[in-house]
């Protein structure tokens, strides 16, 4: 989420454990108001912008960028994105719709999957499995499950305390969302909080309580760490873009007991207005976290 297009940030308590480490971030490409990122199997990145119908493509090694495709007329901007099948991505458009983008043919195509007319502000997206994605409605504070084959959708997750907006004055609650191994991880940007809930691997419905892992640091979108840093059950390293916190933080969630516990975020890079992140999938960048931000896309090497 680009906070510059909304309202001023709520004050957040500085976290004592945010101590710089790892290598300094480097700018890969200047690309204004980058909202969300995804990585293709060929190593290229895809970037969205909430104020543009263009889906951008980035070669992080050559440090070049271009437009992969322009969405149909009527689409005003793009936000959450995730790969649900090989070279097939689900993308949130204009805060109300979900499109599929297919890169498996010579020229990529965008096809409307579903329009969620009752949604207030769809923002974050997580892949549940090949036939379903989860989309977070920041305005209502709920999560929809959308079938990638039929376009059918329904609310599967809802929790007033952890997902709803902080106030009526700032109607933006649940923001970043990711899923792995029966766990949904998510942030509530203006409540300055980070959460998880155990879910059914098929339906996405909750099978445990909604847990809070921190309450004093702004979090936007998030991503899982490089291979070898994750454990079964959704544990391991997770990276969170802090937006107004101007950083990328790392949290080690392995061993945090189900039903209670907290995590300690550690700052691994200073990136102004960081909104999102994704781990590299190309040759030689498997330990690089790419960070989307207001002034472009940056690379943060981790695990060094």
The candidate with the shortest Cα–Cα distance to 221, out of 34, 13, 9, 5, is: 34
Domains of the chain: which residue ranges? 3-10+18-301
Q: Is this prediction's pTM over 0.85?
A: yes
- As a whole number of angstroms, the distance between CA 122 and CA 196 comes to 19
> What pLDDT sits at residue 231?
43
> What pLDDT sits at residue 24?
84
Strand partners, 9: none
> What pLDDT sits at residue 18?
53
- As a whole number of angstroms, the distance between CA 63 and CA 255 comes to 38
Question: What is the three-class DSSP state of 105?
Answer: coil
> What pLDDT sits at residue 5?
39
Summarised one tens digit per residue, pLDDT across range 44-67 is 999 999 999 999 999 999 999 999
> What pLDDT sits at residue 118?
97
Question: What is the three-class DSSP state of 3?
Answer: helix
The overall average pLDDT reported for the chain is 90
Q: Give me the residues of the chain with pLDDT under 50, please.
A: 3-14, 16, 231-234
> What pLDDT sits at residue 254?
82
The kind and range of the H/E element at 162 are: helix 160-163
> What pLDDT sits at residue 16?
42
- As a whole number of angstroms, the distance between CA 72 and CA 28 comes to 28
> What pLDDT sits at residue 28?
97
Q: Tokens for 272, please give them.
A: 């102004």
Superfamily of domain 3-10+18-301: TolB, C-terminal domain (2.120.10.30)
Q: Tokens for 75, please give them.
A: 């689409």
The candidate with the shortest Cα–Cα distance to 25, out of 263, 299, 256, is: 299
Question: What is the three-class DSSP state of 161?
Answer: helix
> What pLDDT sits at residue 239?
97
> What pLDDT sits at residue 2?
59
């Amino acid at each position: 989420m680009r906070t510059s297009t909304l309202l001023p940030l709520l004050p957040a308590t500085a976290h004592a454990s945010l101590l710089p480490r790892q290598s300094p971030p480097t700018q890969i490409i200047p690309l204004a108001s980058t909202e969300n990122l995804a990585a293709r199997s060929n190593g290229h990145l895809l970037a969205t912008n909430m104020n543009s119908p263009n889906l951008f493509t980035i070669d992080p090694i050559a440090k070049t960028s271009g437009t992969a495709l322009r969405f149909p007329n009527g689409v005003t901007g793009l936000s959450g994105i995730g790969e649900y099948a090989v070279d097939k991505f689900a993308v949130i458009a204009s805060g109300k719709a979900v499109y599929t983008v297919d890169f498996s043919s010579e020229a990529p195509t965008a096809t409307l999957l579903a329009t969620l007319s009752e949604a207030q502000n769809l923002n974050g997206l997580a892949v549940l499995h090949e036939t379903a994605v989860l989309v977070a409605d920041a305005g209502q504070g709920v999560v929809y499950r959308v079938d990638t084959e039929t376009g059918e959708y329904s609310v599967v997750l809802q929790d007033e305390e952890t997902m709803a907006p902080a106030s009526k004055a700032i109607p933006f609650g649940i923001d970043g969302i990711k899923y792995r191994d029966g766990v949904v991880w998510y942030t509530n940007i203006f409540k300055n909080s980070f959460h998880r809930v155990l879910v059914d691997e098929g339906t996405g419905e909750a099978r445990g309580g909604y847990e809070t892992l921190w309450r004093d640091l702004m979090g936007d979108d998030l991503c899982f760490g490089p291979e070898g840093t994750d454990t079964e059950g959704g544990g391991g390293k997770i990276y969170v873009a802090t937006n107004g916190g101007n950083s990328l933080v790392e949290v080690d969630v392995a061993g945090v007991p189900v039903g209670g516990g907290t995590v300690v975020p550690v700052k691994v890079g200073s990136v102004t207005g960081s909104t999102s992140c994704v781990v590299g999938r190309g040759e030689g960048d498997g330990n690089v976290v790419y960070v989307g931000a207001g002034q472009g896309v940056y690379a943060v090497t981790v695990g060094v």
